[in-house]
Amino acid sequence: MRVLITGMGGELGTRVANLLEADETVEEILGIDGYPPRRRITRADFHMIDPTDRRRIVNVVRDFDPEVLLHLGVYEPHAHFGGTAARLNTQASAVSTLGAATGCPSLRRIVVRSGIEVYGRRRGAALRPDESCPIDPTDGFGRSMAHVEHLAYETGGIAGVPVVALRYAPIVGPSFPSPLGRYLRLPVVAVSPLAELPFSLLHQEDAALAAVAAAKGTSAGPLNVVGPGAVTASQAVRRGRRVPLPVFGPGWMFAAVASEVLGAPLPPHVRSLLVRGAGADGSTATKLLGVEPRPTSDVVDLLYRWSDVAQVTPRTGAVRR
Amino acid sequence: MSTNLLRGLPGAATVSLVDRRLRGSYEIDEWGLDPELVALSDPAVSLRWDIEVSGAERIPATGGAVLVFNRRVGISEPWVLARGIRRSSGRFVRTVGVVDLAPVGPFLRRFGAVVDRPDEIAGLLRAGQLVGLPMSRSVRATVGDLQTDRIEAAITTGRPVVPVAMLGREAGRRWRVVVGNPLTPKRRGGPLAAVTLTEAVRDAVQTLLDDATMPGLWL
C-alpha cells in the first residue's frame, strides 16, 4: 500500500506517519508539508513544500501515484498559522492535493481531516449531531473544513473511489499546538459560567489512530470522531487548577485581547466552543474504525498534566568533569 | 485528599461535594445534564411539588424511549415528570422544548432540558435516554396536539413511545403522573406510520387522563 500524507509536518501528521511506518503492509509513505515533521521518521519520504506551491504539489502527488491519500493538511487558525494564513493554506493544500489525485490511476481511497465545527452552532441547533445531520458551519474554520470535504467528495466522484471525512472533535493534548489548549492553560481563564454549554474533545493519539484505521479500512462517508462525555469551560479550568474569570457579553472582547497579549489568541471557533459548546455522536466511528477515544474528562486532565518544563535526567556515562 | 480524612465525620459528605464542585470533578453529559446538581436541588423541588407516580414499571429499564405527556400551562409539568420518573424508575428524563438562549437555556439544560429538534431527539434516543415530549398546551379536558415529525424520531430509531398523563394544578402542590403501556413503532411502516402512531399515542394519553379522573375534575 502506498500512502500519501499531506500535513505530515504537524503533530497529527507525524504521528500518523510513525504509526504507518510500523505497519509492514504499508510499502511506501510520502509526506508533504510546509514545515518539517515534529518527530523522527524512519522510512517515510518527506517533501517540504509550501501549501500554496501548487505546481510542486501536483508533480509530487502524480509522480508518487498513491493508493491511499490521507489529507491532513487542514490548518486550524492560530494553531500554527494566523487566521487568514490558515484559511488560505487549507484551501490551497486541498485544491492542489485533491486536484492532483484525480489523475492518479492507482488511487483507491481518500481520507480527509475535517471537524465537528462543520455542523455549526446556530441558536437552537442540536448539541450532539450525528453524521446524518446537515452541515451548516458558523465560523471560518468550520467553513474551511466543509470546503475540504466538498472537494474530497468531488474528487472521489471523479476518481470513483470512496471518501472518508473524519470529523474530529477539537484535538488537544500535550505538545499538540491548539489555540484551545493554549487558552485553557493560561493561569487565569475567562469563562461564561451562566451561558456556557458543554463541549467534547479528542486526544491527539486517538485522532492519529482513527486516521490510520480509516486509511486501512473500508468505510466511506463522514465519521464523527469524538471523545465520549463532555465538560464545560468552567469545569475544565477548575480541573486544571486554573482561576476561572467570569465574563459577560462585551467582556469577551477584552478577554480576547488579553489572552492574545498573553500568547493565546482566541479565534472565533474557540470562542464559540467555550460559550455555545460543541459535541457530536461518535458511536458510528467507534464501531466502524474500532477506535475507542478516551473520555473528554481524561483528555482535559492529560492536557493539564503536561509539564511546562521537562526534567531530563543526565545519563551517568555522558557526564564529563 | 482532605475529604478522605473527614470520612465518617458529620458534614463530611457536604465538604466532599463542595470540594468536587470546586475542583470540577463532577459529571456533565453531552447535552448539559448535571446529575449532581439535580440531586442537590431535589430537596427544594420536593417542597414545591408532591408527586405520586403510577405505572412506573412500564418505563423501559434500559434504552431510549419517548414519554409523551399532556400539559396545561406547561410550567410545572416538565419538572413533575422528570422528578417523578427519576424517583420511581431511577432514570433521568430529557424534556424537549428549552429555549436556546442564555442564561435560561444553559441553566435548564443542567436539569435535563433539550432543544425541540427531531435530530436532537433522535440523538438522545440512540444514546439510550428517556425523552419527555410535551403535547401542545390545552386548558380544556382534551389533550393538545402532538407534532408528527417529533414522533418520527422514535420510528427511525425503533424506540417505544410511552403515553403519560399529568394531573395537577399549576397553583397546587399535589401532582399525579400516570404511565401507560408503551407503543412500539413499526420501523418500516411507510409514510402513514408516524401519523398513525401520533394519533394512537394522543388517544392513549387522553384515555389515561379520562380514566384517572372524574370528568371535569382535571379542570
Cα within 13 Å of Cα(A21), Cβ side: 17
Q: What is the mean pLDDT of residues B29-44?
A: 93
**Among A251, A173, A231, A165, which Cα is nearest to A206's?**
A173
Residue A289 forms part of a structural domain: yes
Contacts of B123 in chain A (CB under 8 A): 126, 128-130, 281
**What is the domain count for chain A?**
1
Residue A31 forms part of a structural domain: yes
Shortest distance, CA A247 to any CA of chain B (angstroms)? 13
Buried b (16+ CB within 10 A) or exposed e, A219-237: ebebbbbbbbbbbbbbbbb
pLDDT recorded at residue A311? 67
One-letter identity of residue A224: N
Q: Are A134 and A149 in contact (CB under 8 A)?
A: no
Res. B3: pLDDT tops 60 = no
Question: DSSP strand E in B100-172: where?
Answer: 113-114, 130-134, 161-168
- B20 inside 8 A of chain A by CB: no
Shortest distance, CA B139 to any CA of chain A (angstroms)? 27
Residues 130-149 of B with CB under 8 A from A: none
Residue A301 forms part of a structural domain: no
Cβ atoms within 10 Å, residue A94: 25
Contacts of A239 in chain B (CB under 8 A): 23-25
Res. A142: pLDDT tops 50 = yes
- B117 inside 8 A of chain A by CB: yes
A234·B24 Cβ contact <8 A: yes
Res. B4: pLDDT tops 70 = no
pLDDT recorded at residue B114? 95
CB nearest to A197's CB, from B22, B26, B106:
B106
Tens digit of pLDDT for each residue in A298-314? Answer: 999 999 986 666 666 76
Residue of A nearest to B22 (CA): A238
CATH code assigned at A155: 3.40.50.720
B115·A279 Cβ contact <8 A: no
pLDDT recorded at residue B138? 85
pLDDT recorded at residue A257? 94
User: DSSP labels for A225-274?
Assistant: E--SS-B-HHHHHHHTTPEEEE--TTHHHHHHHHHHHTT----HHHHHHH
Residue A302 forms part of a structural domain: no
Residue A311 forms part of a structural domain: no
Grid cell, residue A12, equals 497529527
pLDDT recorded at residue A175? 82
B23·A239 Cβ contact <8 A: yes
CB nearest to B28's CB, from A130, A231, A237:
A231
**A24-28, A31-35, B149-153 — which is least confidently predicted?**
B149-153
B14: confidence class by pLDDT, cuts 50, 70, 90: confident
Contacts of A243 in chain B (CB under 8 A): none
B115·A133 Cβ contact <8 A: no
pLDDT recorded at residue B140? 79
pLDDT recorded at residue A260? 93
Q: Where in the sequence is the domain holding A141, given as residue range(s)?
A: 2-172+202-226+279-293
CB pairs under 8 A between A and B: 86
B123·A194 Cβ contact <8 A: no
Residue A49 forms part of a structural domain: yes
Residue A9 forms part of a structural domain: yes
Shortest distance, CA B49 to any CA of chain A (angstroms)? 26
A136: confidence class by pLDDT, cuts 50, 70, 90: very high
Q: What ipTM describes this predicted complex?
A: 0.86
Cβ atoms within 10 Å, residue A155: 24
Tens digit of pLDDT for each residue in A197-227? Answer: 999 999 999 999 999 999 999 999 999 999 9
Contacts of B30 in chain A (CB under 8 A): 127-128, 198, 200, 229-230, 279
B122·A230 Cβ contact <8 A: no
Distances (CA, A) of A43 to A31, A288, B72, B124, B193: 11, 29, 70, 46, 58
pLDDT recorded at residue B70? 94
A126·B30 Cβ contact <8 A: no
Full-model pTM:
0.90
Cβ atoms within 10 Å, residue B201: 26
Grid cell, residue A282, equals 461518535
Residue A182 forms part of a structural domain: no
